[in-house]
Chain A
């Protein structure tokens, strides 16, 4: 009886000595670059209001509030009745992250292009100009985190628009 107890205690102690950095299985966490899909890049469109997926930067202009949905577009919120702010439309702009407005013109980015939209009717923005490559790319070589492993970005695969944390079987070679 005692012998079997010692046996089981030994098993427990040995089992707790996981040499692989305390992870339960062999996988590790690392950031993986997400590349822009070229098919997405031209399609700016106005859509019905929708729920927020990945809340991004905010911008106030007159009776409207704009909130970026990271890498997806811009939610248009009508705040003309302060007690009852409501979403009125969603402007789909692939890989958009920034917003600024002047004189009924909204400036945003589509990946690294600067896009100008006419918002004289803020509920019906119209694209009027695109300045190619005007807003330089950020976070291309490495994710915006330190002390992390990541899959090295390959410029041949295109523009990096996001970094996703994933479980991986082997440690990737890039570290920061």
Chain B
């Protein structure tokens, strides 16, 4: 009996080590990196976990053995979920009505911390990115999203359990967004790629825009801004983030 107990204990410790723990994440990340997705993604990787969202569920897969993902948890996250974006030990999950913020302090057990609701726009699509204590989101009100007016908004997330909207700027038909340093790029169907200065995060200032394409999402990746446009990809050099220089369009 005692032997059985010890075997169980050893087995348990073995299983416990096969989780996407943070320690493992840091050591593994050094050996093999994770790529970067856009703000409209439904898949994202943090450390040794792959997180996926469908309309209602958040799923956690352990990829401690990256060739062999193992489903660890399925969580009811909300309704009409469209996007997932990781920032530090948080997941920001965008839906057609609100943003759900989860803690992944315990990577395999995401815990819901709060829900960010815009008081000005009731129904919209919410791709979201976070930077320090601010979360930026575009609230699009056309097509699947309903609602009356499209906005770029900034939420104060200093108190993560109580996000507060601090800024709201009208845009035409916004999609994904991303930032590099103190520059925020916002994709808009009609206005093009909008470039905001977010040095003062609660007062984003439009400094430039690049029209001529329907921009859907961006990934600022080192010195390159990778843009998803309606007919392919456009790359810009953002050595100076405030003034992207066109490199190429790939269709």
Q: Given A98-B43, A105-B63, A107-B50, check contact A55 B69 (CB 8 Å).
A: no
Residues from chain B with Cβ under 8 Å of A56 in the complex: 228
9 interchain residue pairs of minimum CB distance? A103-B32, A61-B35, A101-B35, A136-B54, A100-B43, A105-B66, A60-B221, A144-B144, A98-B43
Question: Per DSSP, are chain A's interface residues mostly helix, strand or loop, or mixed?
Answer: strand
Residues in B lying within 8 Å of A, measured CB to CB: 28, 31-38, 40-45, 50, 52, 54-55, 57, 59, 61, 63, 66-69, 71, 143-146, 216-217, 219, 221, 223-224, 226-233, 235, 237, 247-248, 250-251
**What number of residue pairs across chains A and B have CB atoms under 8 A from each other?**
155
Which of B67, B233, B248, B251 sits near A116, CB closer than 8 Å?
A: B67
Q: Given A137-B54, A145-B143, check contact A58 B247 (CB 8 Å).
A: no
Q: On chain A, which size bracket covers the interface?
A: 35 or more
- Asked if A114 is an interface residue, CB under 8 A from chain B, the answer is yes
Residues from chain B with Cβ under 8 Å of A136 in the complex: 54-55, 57, 59
- Asked if A77 is an interface residue, CB under 8 A from chain B, the answer is yes
CB atoms of A116 and B43 under 8 A apart:
no
Q: Considering the chains assembled together, what is the distance between the CA atoms of A65 and B222 in angstroms?
A: 13
Residues from chain B with Cβ under 8 Å of A118 in the complex: 67
CB atoms of A65 and B226 under 8 A apart:
yes
Q: Given A65-B233, A105-B66, check contact A58 B250 (CB 8 Å).
A: no
Closest B residue to A114 using CB positions: B69
CB atoms of A146 and B50 under 8 A apart:
no
Q: Kindly name the residue among A59, A65, A98, A102 whose own CB sees the greatest number of chain B CB atoms within 10 A.
A: A102
- Asked if A17 is an interface residue, CB under 8 A from chain B, the answer is no
- Rounded to whole Å, the gap between the CB of A137 and the closest CB of chain B is 7
Q: Considering the chains assembled together, what is the distance between the CA atoms of A129 and B50 in angstroms?
A: 15
Q: A58-B233, A67-B232, A134-B69 are in contact. List 8 more A-B contacts (CB 8 A).
A: A57-B37, A58-B37, A62-B33, A75-B250, A99-B37, A104-B32, A129-B68, A135-B42
Residues from chain B with Cβ under 8 Å of A98 in the complex: 41-43, 52
- Asked if A82 is an interface residue, CB under 8 A from chain B, the answer is yes
Closest B residue to A68 using CB positions: B228
Q: Considering the chains assembled together, what is the distance between the CA atoms of A103 and B45 in angstroms?
A: 11
Which of A104, A108, A131, A138 sits near B55, CB closer than 8 Å?
A: A138
- Rounded to whole Å, the gap between the CB of B249 and the closest CB of chain A is 10
Q: Considering the chains assembled together, what is the distance between the CA atoms of A138 and B248 in angstroms?
A: 33
Residues from chain B with Cβ under 8 Å of A38 in the complex: none
Residues from chain A with Cβ under 8 Å of B57 in the complex: 136
Residues from chain B with Cβ under 8 Å of A13 in the complex: none
